[in-house]
Amino acid sequence: MGFDVVKYIGAVTVLLTRYSHVMTLEMQYVAFTAGCGPDGLALQRTLLPALRSREVLIRNFATTVNRADTLQRRGLYPSPPGESAILGLDAAGIVEALAPDCTGSWKQGDRVMALLTGGGYAEYVAVPEDVLMAVSPGMPFTSAAAIPEVWLTAYQLLHVEGGLKRGDTVLIHAGGSGVGSAAVQLCLLAGCRPVITAGSQEKLDAARRLGAVAAFNYKTEDFSEKVLTFTEGRGVDLILDCVGASHYERNMKSIRIEGRWVLYGLLGGGTISGDIFSQMLRKRITITGTTLRARDLQYKKRVVDGFTRDVLPLFSKGASPAVKPLIDSVFPLAQAGEAHTRMEANLNTGKLVLQVRDEATGKSLHDEL
Ligand SMILES: NC(=O)c1ccc[n+]([C@@H]2O[C@H](COP(=O)([O-])OP(=O)(O)OC[C@H]3O[C@@H](n4cnc5c(N)ncnc54)[C@H](OP(=O)(O)O)[C@@H]3O)[C@@H](O)[C@H]2O)c1
């Protein structure tokens, strides 16, 4: 394939026209050095991201903190090759510019949210048009940003990887987390029974308010005993597991024969020394590991399309049944370090949002910096 000069000039012209109101082609973003602590996060300037084929530039109003960001900051989870090295897997804002080969699904000025592979902790972010979703009228960007990564993960765990069936009882660990709080609501929508575990009364109560049919404190009680009592000895049909090693034995006891177990995080470690294979064999269990960030665009589009069809309309005002993102707190982008500290201390119930721009004026909160 040769270099297409006409397309290149077209793209540059589009960008220059669209950015004419921006004084420089620079933006602020949160910089870090891999291995640093939360106090190593600081605003710096860089060039606006360049648009690649079928990408859209979002004028970013809000992003959120995900566990992946804290791991990336610590140097344990680098961004996939070729993707933005800036932190942040969510964005919500306004379409600012589109690559010349975009298909017309989106236009300048649309209110959108997006699942990112990186780049959310910044004033602008470039994202493939296939992973954009519309923001419901009236929904603030600080709420919309709390949807893409954790809701799409929960949808993927239940419907793409977990084979969820109506009537299933689902054991959801970290029930007060971003993913857990979304999974509870998605289970209810699918006619299933969400049972959660969490480590504080506040999180147990929050999950119950969202509709969890049972909630157990994994720090003060043996959740497997409680689960077996609750299911009258049968065990749960599906486990959503972001804990791994430290919950493995109790998960084995909690799961029913021929149950499904989706592993998507290792908050409790990744090394076990138990007889996992013989127990898997005896119970004929299916264990599936999954990550969303490293998936190809086709897979992400499939998840986004399914979620847009099945769930997105239910975020609208007056929808019935209705769903909502659970938000812990909102920090200005410049205080990303404080939000990381809160997440690493497991203090957040729901999402930690980072606000980039004023909702009403669109002005960056960080202009004076
Ligand atoms: N595979 C994927 O594609 C994917 C995508 C998104 C997220 N994730 C994973 O999903 C998990 C949840 O993410 P999130 O952003 O929703 O997290 P979050 O809101 O920060 O919540 C995580 C919660 O997990 C609990 N926890 C922490 N360490 C624990 C341990 N050792 N044992 C049991 N519970 C523990 C804590 O609550 P308690 O107070 O209840 O202990 C903590 O607040 C993370 O592991 C993340 O990496 C995976």
Q: Are 187 and 193 in contact (CB under 8 A)?
A: yes
Domain boundary, last residue among 244, 265, 289? 289
Beta carbons within 8 Å of 134's beta carbon, 6+ residues apart:
110, 111, 112, 113, 308, 312
DSSP secondary-structure letter at 13?
H
Torsion sign, CA atoms 357, 292, 296, 269: positive
Element (H, E) at 56: strand 55-65
Say if ligand 1 is within 6 A of residue 268 CB.
yes
Same-domain check for residues 166 and 140:
no
Check: CB of residue 148 under 8 Å from CB of residue 122: no
Please indicate, yes or no, if residue 318 is contained in any of the structural domains.
no
The answer on 240 and 330 residing in a single domain is no
User: In this structure, are residues 82 and 115 in contact, taking their beta carbons and an 8 Å threshold?
Assistant: no
> Is 346 touching ligand 1 by the criterion CB < 6 Å?
yes
**Residue 357 and residue 301: Cα distance in Å, rounded?**
28
**In 3D, which of 59, 65, 46, 49 has the Cα closest to residue 335?**
65
Owner of token pair 């109790």: 250
11 and 80 assigned to the same domain: yes
What is each CA distance from 108 to 93, 98, 102, 111, 357, in whole angstroms?
11, 7, 12, 9, 18
Question: Is residue 320 domain-resident?
Answer: no
Global pTM reads 0.94
Confirm or reject: Cβ of 200 under 6 Å from ligand 1. Answer: yes
> In this structure, what token pair is assigned to residue 341?
């500290």
With a cut of 60, say whether residue 251 has pLDDT above it.
yes
176 lines ligand 1 (CB under 6 A): yes
For ligand 1, the distance from its centroid to the CA atom of residue 151, given in whole angstroms, is: 13
Residue 367, domain member (yes or no): no
Do 72 and 139 reside in the same domain of the chain?
A: yes
Q: Hey, what are 30's tokens?
A: 């949160």
Confidence of residue 16 (pLDDT cuts 50, 70, 90): low
Which pLDDT band holds residue 252 (cuts at 50, 70, 90)? Answer: very high
d(CA 50, CA 45): 15
Domain shared by 136 and 71, yes or no: yes
DSSP structure class, residue 206: H
Ligand 1 touching residue 187 (CB < 6 A): no
Is residue 331, in this structure, part of any structural domain at all? yes
Tokens read off for 144: 């919309």
CB 224 within 8 A of CB 197: no
Domain check: are 14 and 42 in the same one?
yes
Task: Write the DSSP string, 200-225.
Answer: SHHHHHHHHHHT-SEEEETTTS-HHH
Residues 205 and 329 in one domain: no
Report which ligand 1 atom has the smallest distance to the Cα of 200.
39
pLDDT on residue 366 = 78
- Three-class SS state of 93: strand
How many angstroms separate the CA atoms of 57 and 14, rounded? Answer: 11
Q: Rounded CA gap, 179 and 243, in Å? A: 13
Does residue 81 share a domain with residue 68? yes
Q: Are 92 and 135 in contact (CB under 8 A)?
A: yes
How many domains are contained in the chain? 2
And the tokens for 340? 């990381």
Structural domain that includes position 238: 150-289
Give pLDDT tens digits for 263-272.
Answer: 999 999 999 9
Q: Alpha-carbon distance 38 to 335, whole Å?
A: 10
Q: Could you tell me the distance, in angstroms and rounded to a whole number, from the CA of residue 235 to the centre of ligand 1?
A: 23
Per-residue pLDDT of 72-117, as tens digits, reads 999 999 999 999 999 999 999 999 999 999 999 999 999 999 999 9
Q: The CATH number of the domain where 251 resides is what? A: 3.40.50.720
Same domain, 175 and 64: no
How far is Cα 221 from Cα 219, in angstroms, rounded to an integer?
A: 6
Residue length of the chain: 369
C-alpha of residue 174 to centroid of ligand 1, in Å: 6
Tell which residue, 41, 46, 20, 16, has the closest CA to residue 30: 41
Cβ–ligand 1 contact at 290 (below 6 Å):
yes
- Residue owning the nearest CA to atom 21 of ligand 1: 177
Question: What average pLDDT does the structure give for the chain?
Answer: 93
Q: Are residues 167 and 267 in the same domain?
A: yes
pLDDT(19) > 80? no
Residues 274, 183 within the same domain: yes
Please tell me the predicted confidence (pLDDT) of residue 4.
Answer: 55
Asked if the structure places residue 116 within a domain, the reply is: yes
Token match 């420089």: residue? 24
In the block, residue with structure tokens 């297409």: 4
Asked, for residue 28, whether it belongs to a domain, the answer is: yes
Residue 264 in contact with ligand 1 by CB distance below 6 A: yes
pLDDT in tens, 256-289: 999 999 999 999 999 998 888 999 999 999 999 9
Domain of 93, CATH number, reads 3.90.180.10
pLDDT tens, residue by residue, 304-347: 999 999 999 999 999 999 999 999 999 999 999 999 999 999 99
* 1 pLDDT more than 70: no
Residue nearest to atom 43 of ligand 1 (CA): 346
Residue tagged 């989106």 (tokens): 106
Domain match, 223 and 333 both: no
